[in-house]
Amino acid sequence: MSIEITGFFGFLLFILSVWAIIKTVESRASTGTKVLWTVVILLLPVLGLIFWFFLGPRKH
């Protein structure tokens, strides 16, 4: 079973993933937490973004 994300949705997912990774790197979280969130965002593109949005590190 293969899931392919192409076209506009794939481009939007790419932009949101890059944005989430940048926000994660800018946060005050520990290095290990930043690496973990980056891996989650990259390995689980849709679910990773949803988890990051609700549970990810904040810039505070």
Predicted local confidence at residue 60, as pLDDT: 57
Q: Are 48 and 40 in contact (CB under 8 A)?
A: yes
Contacts of 46 (CB under 8 A, 6+ apart): 5, 13
What are the structural domain ranges in the chain? 28-60
Q: Are 41 and 17 in contact (CB under 8 A)?
A: yes
Q: pTM of the full predicted structure?
A: 0.82
pLDDT in tens, 14-29: 999 999 999 999 999 9
pLDDT in tens, 29-58: 999 999 999 999 999 989 999 999 999 887
